[in-house]
Amino acid sequence: MEGRNLEWLLAAASDAMLIADHGGHIVLANPALCRLFGYEPGALQGQAVEALVPARLRATHAGLRSGFSAHPRARAMGAGAELSGVHRDGREFPVEVSLSPLSADPPLVLAIVHDITARKQAEAALQESEARMRAVFDSVADAIITIDEYGAIERLNPAAQTLFGYAEAEAAGHNVSMLMPPAHRDRHDGYLAHYRATGERKIIGIGREVEGRRKDGAIFPIELTVTEMWLGTRRMFTGVVRDISQRKEAERENRQLLQELTSANEELTNFAYVVSHDLKAPLRGIGSLADWLATDYARHFNEEGREHMRLLINRVHRMGALIDGILQYSRVGRVKEARAAVDLNRMLADVVDLLAPPAHITVAVQPDMPTLVMEPTRLQQVFHNLISNAIKYMDKPAGHIAVGWTEQDGEWRFTVADNGPGIEARHFERIFQLFQTLAPRDRVESTGVGLALVKKIVEMYQGRVGVESVTGQGSTFWFTLPAGMRQSQPQETRETE
């Protein structure tokens, strides 16, 4: 009756179980064990337990079994070495086995078998994850420090060891305040205690700029970000530390440069004031006196004298224009104007009307010019100088100037093309430099500021400027502006002769 009860209990159990005799032969295997190893019910009865062990391990297992039979004792699950089982189809899998001697004659032993494949897979995944985290922890460029909730250091990654000058073994177990200047240490301990009591955050999850202290006593600025984590019931904190000494030095240098730039701008503003008032005032007097002499004493001058007076008046006018050009050039980027929507169709019509080109020169503006949002005066200066130069240097009896635009690679490209004398390629860079002109100044009135002003304005708006030309056939000056500055595209055509 007792044997039947045991057989009934094994059959009802969800765990895989078997009973083996003193010689290691299976007396009884419950359905759960048969399913685990892939056998039909009753198929294992009478077989040696080594049938459930991989062939490469059977001799070793037989020795272990003989030793157990000589000194039978209960062995709890997990107390023995990790074992392997073999499925009927040959597939191996890890198992744990508990053994319990049974009071019988002859002696018997009860074995309970657990498949621990899932646990092994989880352990392997955990080990792989830990290995990856360790690799990141050890190789990341930023310094990483882990502490417990009372501030005791647990880990320093290599970057932190290098940054603070402590080996991990030196710092482990010490309060993290050892990495802070003395003035901050008590405050840090008080902050941790306050956070444990109230949960109020001041650094955790926020980050801030503080100071660190190296082993040699050097104090340096750091950027600290602290995160909280829980390992079971233990609360831990991880601090990511970045040395910002170079950034702070760069900020200091930038502040100094900004101060110097502000001073230079103030000096330039004062210089512009002096030029516009103290320099132009006597120049206007010279011009008025020269005009008076040329008019009232014209009969006293011979041909050479009249030519000298003409040159004097022209050079006074050129000097005035040069001063105006220098002032305009100095204001670009320094004197700001409110940005507004500029309808190029209307603005170009005004520019052409203001320039009043001679009858033999036609200025044509491409239809549907866009509307741009920028400083109106600066944009007008660009087109005014380009069109003015095309008119000024025109050498053909029938001059044609065309203003156009296209969209290319996310930017607007504007062109001013003419059929004038053209420019040799060796002068392409030179003409955009300040005070550079190609024609003799006494033949063409030019200050050498116009194209330099165009270049400065365009580059202020992150654009580019250049020229394409064929000597004797004409030139095309072009400049680009970011397409994002465009507001709309009115339908209007202007052509002025």
Reply yes or no on whether the pLDDT at 440 is more than 70. Answer: no
Reply yes or no on whether the pLDDT at 395 is more than 60. Answer: yes
Mean pLDDT over 401-422 rounds to 90
- Looking at domain 140-243, which of 3.30.450.40, 2.60.40.60, 3.30.450.20, 3.40.605.10 is its CATH number? 3.30.450.20
As a CATH number, domain 2-121 is 3.30.450.20
Peptide bond connecting 106 to the previous residue in cis, omega within 30 degrees of 0? yes
> Whole-prediction pTM value?
0.45
Between 371 and 273, residue with greater pLDDT: 371
Give the tens place of pLDDT for each residue, 456-481. 888 888 899 999 999 989 999 999 99
As a CATH number, domain 340-496 is 3.30.565.10
What is the four-CA torsion angle of 281, 282, 284, 288, rounded to 10 degrees? Answer: 140
Reply yes or no on whether the pLDDT at 495 is more than 50. Answer: no
Could you tell me if 486 and 412 are in contact, meaning their C-beta atoms sit under 8 angstroms apart?
Answer: yes
Distance (Å, whole) CA 495 – CA 476: 18
pLDDT value of position 493: 36
CA dist list (Å): 258 to 247, 251, 303: 16, 10, 57
Band (pLDDT 50/70/90 cuts) for residue 496 is very low
Band (pLDDT 50/70/90 cuts) for residue 160 is very high
The values of phi and psi at residue 141, to 5°, are -75, -30
Closest CA to 20 of 88, 99, 85, 94: 99
What is the four-CA torsion angle of 450, 453, 458, 459, rounded to 10 degrees? Answer: 140
pLDDT value of position 321: 66
pLDDT value of position 419: 92
Give the tens place of pLDDT for each residue, 301-336. 888 887 888 878 777 776 776 676 667 666 665 666
Helix axes 376-392, 450-460, angle to 10 degrees: 150
Give the tens place of pLDDT for each residue, 8-47. 777 778 889 998 888 889 988 999 999 999 999 889 999 9
Reply yes or no on whether the pLDDT at 397 is more than 70. Answer: yes
Beta-carbon contacts of residue 143 (< 8 Å; ≥ 6 apart): 156, 157, 159, 160, 162, 163, 164, 240, 241, 242, 243
CA dist list (Å): 496 to 350, 351, 414: 10, 10, 18
Which of 69-73, 418-422, 477-481 shows the lowest per-residue confidence on average (mean pLDDT)? 69-73
Number of H helices, E strands in the chain: 13, 19
Closest CA to 20 of 97, 86, 90, 110: 110
Length of the chain: 497
Distance of CA 45 to the CA centre of its chain: 70
Buried b (16+ CB within 10 A) or exposed e, 233-244: eeeebbbbbbbb
Closest CA to 245 of 226, 223, 261: 223
